[in-house]
Amino acid sequence: MLLLVLLTVITVAANARSTSVKQSSLSFFYVIPLGTNGGLDENNLSSYLLTSINNSIPNSAYISLDGGTIRHGIEIAIKQQSLPLNTDKEIFIREQIKAYLISHGHLDHITGFLINTPNDKSGKFIIGLNQTIKIIRDHYFNNQAWADFGSTGLKTYDYQILDPLSTIPAPIVNTDLDVRIFRLCHTCPFLSSAFLVSRRNQPSASILYLGDTGPDDVEKIIQVDQTTYSPRYLSQLWKEMAPLVAANQLKAIFIEVSYPNGRPDHLLFGHLTPNWLLKELNVLKSYHSMENVKIIVTHIKPENGAREKIIEQLSRGDALHFNFVFPQQGQAIWL
Ligand SMILES: [Zn+2]
Ligand SMILES: [Zn+2]
């Protein structure tokens, strides 16, 4: 009974927040969350399908932002009618997911993609930082952990390595989308990354997707001589995003909150809490008001009522300056 009441409360809270992400003739992007959690449940791990919208109709060519859960997420999306009821998930994965943008090499961001590789269609790109691509090549596609589906083996996929220092967007093949990459601190010395995805020929619309990241004030990089420094990658990212926010071009920021408040900094393991998220978002807000940018909260660790606590902690005080969205698996978001 208590569980039922709790579930009702969560649904109400989630619905209250999702009213702002319904279909609108002003929408530029269509997002299907295939997985929204930060671990444990293998059926609901970080993965977001994204496509452009033309004349209020989502384009059939999707990209996948991370690939934690794929097949099960598509099943849920079909049930929720975020995809047509007659969608064949096999054909959808082969024909309609055109590229995989992987933020970092952790399993919770890549397992669904890996498991589905044997049936995938060739000619697709895996897109990421050089370091992430190297992890995929050396640790998964190595003919030991898994067959080599990359360009040195079965050639199902090619690698598209993005340079975080380049300011020129790279085209995502077979889509009308372009992408830039940014570095993030997560588990030193390995980096995570953020993707800025924009509509080609329509630079008035972009979304920013961040993989796992810790806060600038906590994250340090250990150098070869064992000294540390703070790269402050989030500050750099906010500085780059400020003109887009000011020009009303940035429609949404997908960013993680793994734990509720109260978690000690030394146990963050490269993740954010609501307070740390607010501290970071306030840096961006110091450049420009954020009222037109949806903040899509990803990667909540499904432990000890974390989801309800995080929703509650992001619904008062300073959080009211931001337009938070708590995505649900399979439930489409119009941006
Ligand atoms: Zn991670
Ligand atoms: Zn993760």
Please write the tens of the pLDDT for every residue from 45-59.
999 999 999 999 999
Calculate what percentage of the chain has a pLDDT beyond 70.
94
Q: Which ligand is the nearest neighbour of the Cα of 106?
A: 1
Beta strands 57-58 and 47-54 are: antiparallel
Tell how far the Cα of 39 is from the centroid of ligand 2, in angstroms: 7
Tell how far the Cα of 128 is from the centroid of ligand 1, in angstroms: 14
Tell how far the Cα of 273 is from the centroid of ligand 2, in angstroms: 14
Cβ atoms of 210 and 34 within 8 Å: the answer is: no
Closest C-alpha to 277, from 290, 198, 15: 290
> Which residues have C-beta under 5 Å from ligand 1, the single-atom ion?
106, 212
Q: Which ligand is the nearest neighbour of the Cα of 299?
A: 2
Q: State residue 44's pLDDT score.
A: 98
Query: Is it the case that residue 124 has pLDDT exceeding 90?
Result: yes
Q: Which ligand is the nearest neighbour of the Cα of 40?
A: 2
Q: State residue 202's pLDDT score.
A: 77
pLDDT digits (tens, 9 = 90+) for 240-258: 999 999 999 999 999 999 9
Distance, in Å, from the CA atom of 22 to the CA atom of 335, rounded to the nearest integer, reads 8
Distance, in Å, from the CA atom of 97 to the CA atom of 297, rounded to the nearest integer, reads 23
Name the average pLDDT for the chain: 93
pLDDT digits (tens, 9 = 90+) for 21-46: 788 778 999 999 999 999 889 999 99
Q: State residue 13's pLDDT score.
A: 43
pLDDT digits (tens, 9 = 90+) for 268-292: 999 999 999 999 999 999 999 999 9
Q: Which ligand is the nearest neighbour of the Cα of 269?
A: 1
Tell how far the Cα of 267 is from the centroid of ligand 2, in angstroms: 15
Q: State residue 17's pLDDT score.
A: 45
The residue written with tokens 């040195």 in the block is: 152
Q: State residue 4's pLDDT score.
A: 47
What phi and psi values does residue 11 have, to the nearest 5 degrees?
-60, -45
Tell how far the Cα of 81 is from the centroid of ligand 1, in angstroms: 30
- Is the omega angle on the peptide bond into residue 327 within 30 degrees of 0, that is, cis? no
Tell how far the Cα of 106 is from the centroid of ligand 1, in angstroms: 5
- Per-residue confidence band for 9, with pLDDT thresholds at 50, 70 and 90: very low
Tell how far the Cα of 25 is from the centroid of ligand 2, in angstroms: 33
Token duo for residue 128? 């990421």
Tell how far the Cα of 47 is from the centroid of ligand 2, in angstroms: 10
Distance, in Å, from the CA atom of 100 to the CA atom of 106, rounded to the nearest integer, reads 14
Tell how far the Cα of 103 is from the centroid of ligand 2, in angstroms: 9
Tell how far the Cα of 2 is from the centroid of ligand 2, in angstroms: 30
pLDDT digits (tens, 9 = 90+) for 220-241: 988 889 999 999 999 999 999 9
pLDDT digits (tens, 9 = 90+) for 150-190: 999 999 999 999 999 999 999 999 999 999 999 999 998 89
Tell how far the Cα of 1 is from the centroid of ligand 2, in angstroms: 32
Tell how far the Cα of 55 is from the centroid of ligand 2, in angstroms: 35
Q: Which ligand is the nearest neighbour of the Cα of 45?
A: 2
Distance, in Å, from the CA atom of 254 to the CA atom of 298, rounded to the nearest integer, reads 6
Q: State residue 167's pLDDT score.
A: 96
Domain 26-334, CATH among 3.20.20.70, 3.30.300.130, 3.60.15.10, 3.90.226.10: 3.60.15.10
Q: Which position has the higher pLDDT, 303 or 195?
A: 195
Q: Which ligand is the nearest neighbour of the Cα of 108?
A: 2
Query: Is it the case that residue 68 has pLDDT exceeding 80?
Result: yes
Whether pTM exceeds 0.85: yes
Tell how far the Cα of 187 is from the centroid of ligand 1, in angstroms: 7
pLDDT digits (tens, 9 = 90+) for 195-221: 999 999 777 899 999 999 999 999 998
Closest C-alpha to 29, from 181, 168, 176: 176
